[in-house]
Structures are given as structure tokens and as C-alpha cells.
């Protein structure tokens, strides 16, 4: 490979990365807008409606506000760790998008171990929270970090087990191949044969992203704002960005693994990238709906749900699935035999 | 010098630096964070060896779970640094002896005939669609099934032992019974009183 070919490869890859990151940032901005509008509608309010037409410029105004605010570093905090924590929580949230297939051909890195890569990167995200809580040198932040660490580690197990179920049916760790294994119609997607795993995966995903009703890591009423209580300005905004990018990530993964990714639900309508976005938006709506509907879980209830309900459910369904694959029960579980 | 060699040198230097950081930092939380960095860099070096399954699993299990629990414990310890430094001169000879033994052993191993670099030619690069996840799975569940099962049983015993060691039921502790909490009806907790409006 010559120098210019190498240079061109790097440039082209950077362009592709920008093509993913810039729309992702815009989606995050407008997800916050959608959240406020949806929760407003559920609570019979109007939501933001002053900046721009129907409040459409509100996210831009928020970004400018956060950018121009001062980033305070508390005294007696560990300055380096305090400032690197938001970056540590944002970087994995974005890097995980490298292996997400948007359509049959549109994927940045088509790697064999794509699913493992996503799992590994989402599990690194917890360091941002832990380091932020510890480096702030504040009791509230520290409690928030402790809660978050315990919660994320617990729910990762249920989530991992749910994904093992997907692996068993599709026979591949490559996210593109997982979608291709669901070809057919809406009834060939994995949500139907793996329904319990789908539910467990999605609820664990809500818990992993520290979203309501599992947001005890922030718990305004008890520990003010949890791990990011001492952050302001852009450093705070990075945590916010990471949380929403992770939400979109969980929704996109649910779509890829259980709702057929870019495949169309009805056989005679063509597949395409549009389906992927529609389905992701549909799953994202659940995040907002949950937040407006459910009261916050108590801490012991969260632990009980993760360890005593979800993990047994997933293990049971994995056993059922293994037997079904062994007996080649169609139309789903004979995929591997083909 | 190829691109891979540059990557190897960068990440191995950071790895060694992080490893030095683990043992020289006074603060135990910072030492644990250095260890996280060391794990991450060794994962990348494994990735260079085309062991992508092991590399990602190292990050997933050690960085994502084990070190989080480690930090969890270390952060809550109240470590006082003064008594730690007290016995430094007293333990120095013993520590030096152990360090020297380890160095001698390592030199011995590396200089041995069967561990020298000539006996280990660079592995042939595989095709892009070669999946070592599948190869590992085949090896573990066919050739080494018995050893794998024995290891699994030993780990299970360890889990049960750890739970048995830490589980203490104190008689005066109050427990919640979630089954009963779920069964509660509105009538058990709430009484609706109808009264006239205040004038």
C-alpha cells in the first residue's frame, strides 16, 4: 500500500466517522427536545415552545448556554481525573457506533466479533461515572458513583445472557449477520422466539443507561444529582451527551438484534436504512415513556429485579432455546442447521 | 518499520508505564486505575496478535467487571498511609530477596533454549473472515471438554464458598419480603374519607 493510498484510506475513514458522529450529535440534541415535548404531552403541558418555531431551536440555545458557562473544578478534587471523567464516559459511547450496521452495506467496521466489541465498550462507560464520583471529593457524588457501579455491573450480566440467546439463534457475533439471520417478515425477527430475552435486554438497557425508573445514581431527591453534582458547563454537557448517545445505542442494538435492523416488516416492501431509523425511534420512545410513567425504583428493588428476576428468566429461556435448537423446531430454531 | 510495529511499541511502552504506576502510586484508587490502563493496553497487544476474542474478553471481563468491583471496594477503604510506610527498612531485605529471585527466574526462563525467539516464528496472518471465537469454542467444547468442566466446577465451588463465608443472618436485622409487598391491595393502605366541602 503506497503512501497516498494509505492517506486516502485514513481520510475516507475519518469522513465516514464524521458521517456517523455528526448526525449522532444532532440526534442527541433533538432527542432532548423530543423528550421534553413527549413528557410535556404526557403531563398535559406544552413543553419548550419559545425558541424558534414550536421551540425547535431550544436544543441549540441549550448547547450555546452550556458552552459559554464556566467549568468549575472543586478544591481538593483530583483535577486530572475530574476533567478526564466526562471524556471517559463519552468516548466509549461514541466508539461503539463503529460496528453498528445501518443497512446491508453501510457499516464503518464490519468485524467478526462486533457484538463482543459493543458489550466491551458499553462496560467501559461505567468508569466515567466512577471516576467522576471519586474525583469530585464529595459525598453525594461518591454515593452516586457507588450506586451506579453496583447497578451497571449487575445488569450487565442479565444483558449479556440475553445476548447469548441472540448468538445461539443467529450463530454469529457479526451484527450484520445477526440481522441477515432474521430475513423474512416481521414474524421472522427474533423478538418473537426470544420474547423474554427481548424484554430483559431492553429493561437492562434502561438500567445500564441510568435512566428513569432506574436513575438512583442521580436521584435528585436523595443525593442531589449524584455523580455529576460538581460538574458545570461543557463538562456536565459531556455526561449528558454520553447518556443520550448510550440511549440511542441501546435502542439501535435492540433493533438490530430483535427487530430485524434494516429489514422491512412486510415482505413486498423493500428493505432500507429508513426502517432502521424508524425502529430506533420507536424504541427510543419507550425510554421517554418510561421516564414519564414510572416512579423511581428503590435501591434494593433494583438489585432484586436484576439478580433474582432477570438472571433466572434469561437462564431458563436459554435452556428452552438450547432444547429447541437441538430438536430443530422451526421456523426459528432450525437456522443453524441450514 | 511497519505500522503494526509502531502501534506495538506505543502500546507496550504505555503498558510498562502503567504497570510501574500500579506499584509506585501511593493512592490505592489511582493504583487501581493504572491497572485498568495496563489491562486495556495488553488487550490491544493481544489484538495485534489477532487474538480478538481474548482481547475483547479481557476488556469485557477484567476492565468492565472485575476492576469495577475492585475500585468499588478500594474506594470505600479508609487507607492510612503512615503505618504502611513504617516497616519499610525492616522489610527491605526480604522484599529485595523476593524481587531478585523473580528477576533471576525470568532471566533463566527467557534465556532457555525452548523460550528463545528463534523457536517462535511470527504467526502467519489469517484471512479477514477467520473467526478465532469459533476456533476457541471448538477446542474448548470438544478436545478440552473434561478440563473445561473441571475448571467450571472449581469456580462454582469458589462461588459457593465465598457466599457461605460472607452470609450471616443476624436475628435483629429487618428484612423486606417483596412477595408480600407486591400482594398489597389499595384497601390495605388507603382509606377514602368523604367529607363536605369547607365553607
Q: In chain A, which residues have their Cβ closer than 8 Å to the Cβ of B64?
A: 119-120, 123-124, 126, 156
Determine the distance in angstroms separating the CA of A324 from the nearest CA of chain B, rounded to an integer.
20
Chain B residue set in contact with A, beta carbons under 8 Å: 29-30, 33, 36, 52-53, 56-57, 59-60, 63-65, 68-69, 71-72, 75-76, 129, 131, 133, 176, 178
How far apart are alpha carbons A166 and A160 in whole angstroms?
10
Name residues whose C-beta falls within 8 Å of residue B101's C-beta, 6 or more positions apart in sequence: none
Average pLDDT over residues B132-140: 83
SS3 of B87, please? coil
How far apart are alpha carbons A204 and A119 in whole angstroms?
13
Name residues whose C-beta falls within 8 Å of residue A111's C-beta, 6 or more positions apart in sequence: A99, A117, A174, B52
Say if the Cβ atoms of A116 and B60 lie within 8 Å: yes
Determine the distance in angstroms separating the CA of A113 from the nearest CA of chain B, rounded to an integer.
7
CB A118 within 8 A of CB A242: no
Average pLDDT over residues B122-140: 77
Say if the Cβ atoms of B52 and A120 lie within 8 Å: no
Average pLDDT for chain A = 84
CB A159 within 8 A of CB A201: yes
Please name the member of B53, B68, B76 whose beta carbon is closest to the beta carbon of A153.
Answer: B68
pLDDT of residue A320: 87
How far apart are alpha carbons A190 and A201 in whole angstroms?
12
Name residues whose C-beta falls within 8 Å of residue B82's C-beta, 6 or more positions apart in sequence: none
Using 50, 70 and 90 to split pLDDT, how confident is the model at B112? low
Using 50, 70 and 90 to split pLDDT, how confident is the model at B85? low
pLDDT of residue B152: 93
Using 50, 70 and 90 to split pLDDT, how confident is the model at B80? low
Please name the member of A124, A146, A150 whose beta carbon is closest to the beta carbon of B59.
Answer: A124
CA A8 to chain centroid, in Å, comes to 32
Say if the Cβ atoms of A112 and B68 lie within 8 Å: no
Top-confidence range, A71-75, A93-97, A106-110, B3-7: A93-97
Average pLDDT over residues A183-196: 80
Average pLDDT over residues A43-67: 85
Average pLDDT over residues B172-176: 79
Q: In chain B, which residues have their Cβ closer than 8 Å to the Cβ of A304?
A: 178
Lowest pLDDT segment from A62-71, A114-123, B82-91: B82-91
Average pLDDT for chain B = 83
Determine the distance in angstroms separating the CA of B132 from the nearest CA of chain A, rounded to an integer.
9
Q: Summarize pLDDT for A268-303 with one digit per residue, the tens.
A: 777 778 888 888 899 999 988 988 888 888 888 888
Using 50, 70 and 90 to split pLDDT, how confident is the model at B157? very high
One DSSP character per residue, B13-58 reads HHHHHHHHHHHH-SSHHHHHHHHHHHHHHHHHHHHHTT-HHHHHHI
Q: In chain A, which residues have their Cβ closer than 8 Å to the Cβ of B36?
A: 127
Determine the distance in angstroms separating the CA of A39 from the nearest CA of chain B, rounded to an integer.
27
Q: Summarize pLDDT for A221-230 with one digit per residue, the tens.
A: 777 777 777 8
Lowest pLDDT segment from A152-161, A231-240, B79-88: B79-88
More confident position, A63 or B109: A63
Question: Does residue A337 carry a pLDDT above 50?
Answer: no
Please name the member of A116, A145, A150 whose beta carbon is closest to the beta carbon of B56.
Answer: A116
How far apart are alpha carbons B33 and A132 in whole angstroms?
13
Question: Does residue A6 carry a pLDDT above 80?
Answer: no
SS3 of B96, please? helix
pTM of the shown model: 0.82
Query: Hey, is the C-beta of A5 within 8 angstroms of any chain B C-beta?
Result: no
Greatest Cα pair distance, chain A, in angstroms, is 64
Say if the Cβ atoms of A111 and B52 lie within 8 Å: yes
Please name the member of B29, B64, B76 whose beta carbon is closest to the beta carbon of A124.
Answer: B64
Question: Does residue B106 carry a pLDDT above 70?
Answer: yes
Torsion of CA A261, A291, A146, A115, to 10 degrees: 0
Q: Summarize pLDDT for A81-127 with one digit per residue, the tens.
A: 888 888 888 898 888 888 888 877 777 777 878 888 888 888 888 88
Q: In chain B, which residues have their Cβ closer than 8 Å to the Cβ of A149?
A: 68-69, 71-72
CB A231 within 8 A of CB A86: yes
pLDDT of residue A338: 41
**What b/e sequence results for A117-126 when a residue is b if at least 16 CB atoms lie within 10 Å of its CB, and e otherwise?**
bbbbbbbbbb
Average pLDDT over residues A311-323: 89
Please name the member of A134, A146, A156 whose beta carbon is closest to the beta carbon of B64.
Answer: A156
ipTM of the complex: 0.80
How far apart are alpha carbons A167 and A174 in whole angstroms?
9
Cell reading at A315: 437462564
Q: In chain B, which residues have their Cβ closer than 8 Å to the Cβ of A112?
A: 52, 129, 131, 133
How far apart are alpha carbons A229 and A220 in whole angstroms?
10
Please name the member of A111, A146, A300 whose beta carbon is closest to the beta carbon of B72.
Answer: A146
Question: Does residue B100 carry a pLDDT above 90?
Answer: yes
Say if the Cβ atoms of A120 and B176 lie within 8 Å: no
Using 50, 70 and 90 to split pLDDT, how confident is the model at A62? confident
SS3 of A328, please? coil
Amino acid at each position: 500500500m503506497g503512501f497516498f493510498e494509505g492517506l486516502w484510506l485514513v481520510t475516507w475513514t475519518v469522513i465516514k466517522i464524521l458521517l456517523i458522529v455528526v448526525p449522532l450529535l444532532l440526534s442527541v440534541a433533538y432527542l432532548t427536545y423530543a423528550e421534553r415535548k413527549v413528557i410535556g404531552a404526557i403531563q398535559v403541558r406544552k413543553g419548550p415552545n419559545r425558541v424558534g418555531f414550536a421551540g425547535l431551536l431550544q436544543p441549540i440555545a441549550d448547547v450555546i448556554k452550556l458552552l459559554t458557562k464556566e467549568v468549575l473544578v472543586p478544591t481538593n478534587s483530583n483535577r486530572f481525573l475530574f476533567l478526564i471523567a466526562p471524556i471517559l464516559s463519552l468516548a466509549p459511547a461514541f466508539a461503539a457506533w463503529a460496528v453498528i450496521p445501518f443497512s446491508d452495506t453501510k457499516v464503518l467496521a464490519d468485524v467478526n466479533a462486533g457484538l463482543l466489541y459493543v458489550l466491551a465498550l458499553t462496560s467501559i462507560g461505567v468508569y466515567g461515572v466512577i471516576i467522576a464520583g471519586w474525583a469530585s471529593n464529595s459525598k453525594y457524588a461518591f454515593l452516586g458513583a457507588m450506586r451506579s457501579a453496583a447497578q451497571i455491573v449487575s445488569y450487565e450480566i442479565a444483558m449479556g445472557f440475553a445476548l447469548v440467546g441472540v448468538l445461539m439463534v443467529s450463530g454469529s457475533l457479526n451484527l450484520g449477520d445477526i440481522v441477515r439471520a432474521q430475513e423474512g417478515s416481521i414474524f421472522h425477527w427474533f423478538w418473537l422466539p426470544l420474547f423474554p430475552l427481548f424484554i430483559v435486554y431492553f429493561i437492562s438497557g434502561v438500567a445500564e443507561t441510568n435512566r428513569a425508573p432506574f436513575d438512583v445514581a442521580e436521584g435528585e431527591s436523595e443525593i442531589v444529582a449524584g455523580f455529576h453534582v460538581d460538574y458545570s458547563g461543557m463538562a456536565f454537557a459531556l455526561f449528558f451527551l454520553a447518556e443520550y448517545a448510550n440511549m440511542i445505542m441501546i435502542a439501535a442494538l435492540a433493533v438490530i438484534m430483535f427487530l430485524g435492523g434494516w429489514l422491512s416488516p412486510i415482505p413486498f416492501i423493500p428493505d432500507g436504512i429508513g426502517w432502521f431509523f424508524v425502529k430506533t425511534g420507536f424504541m427510543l420512545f419507550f425510554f421517554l415513556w418510561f421516564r414519564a410513567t414510572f416512579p423511581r425504583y428503590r435501591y434494593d428493588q433494583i438489585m432484586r429485579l436484576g439478580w433474582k428476576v432477570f438472571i433466572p428468566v434469561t437462564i431458563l429461556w436459554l435452556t428452552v432455546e438450547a432444547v429447541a435448537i437441538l430438536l430443530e423446531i422451526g421456523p426459528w430454531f432450525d437456522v443453524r442447521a441450514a | 518499520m511497519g505500522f503494526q510495529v509502531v502501534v506495538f511499541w506505543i502500546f507496550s511502552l504505555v503498558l510498562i508505564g502503567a504497570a510501574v504506576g500500579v506499584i509506585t502510586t501511593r493512592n490505592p484508587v489511582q493504583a487501581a486505575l493504572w491497572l485498568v490502563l495496563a489491562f486495556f493496553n495488553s488487550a490491544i497487544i493481544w489484538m495485534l496478535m489477532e487474538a480478538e476474542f481474548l482481547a475483547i474478553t479481557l476488556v469485557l471481563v477484567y476492565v468492565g467487571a472485575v476492576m469495577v468491583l475492585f475500585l468499588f471496594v478500594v474506594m470505600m477503604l479508609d487507607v492510612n498511609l503512615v503505618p504502611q510506610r513504617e516497616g519499610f527498612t525492616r522489610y527491605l531485605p526480604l522484599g529485595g530477596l523476593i524481587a531478585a529471585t523473580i528477576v533471576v527466574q525470568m532471566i533463566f526462563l527467557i534465556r532457555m533454549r525452548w523460550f528463545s525467539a528463534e523457536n517462535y516464528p511470527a504467526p502467519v496472518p489469517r484471512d479477514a473472515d477467520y473467526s478465532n471465537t469459533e476456533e476457541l469454542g471448538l477446542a474448548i467444547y470438544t478436545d478440552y471438554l473434561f478440563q473445561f468442566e473441571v475448571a467450571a466446577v472449581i469456580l462454582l465451588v469458589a462461588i459457593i464458598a465465598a457466599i457461605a463465608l460472607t452470609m450471616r443472618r443476624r436475628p435483629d436485622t429487618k428484612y423486606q419480603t417483596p412477595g408480600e409487598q407486591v400482594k398489597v391491595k389499595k384497601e390495605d393502605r388507603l382509606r377514602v374519607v368523604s367529607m363536605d366541602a369547607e365553607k
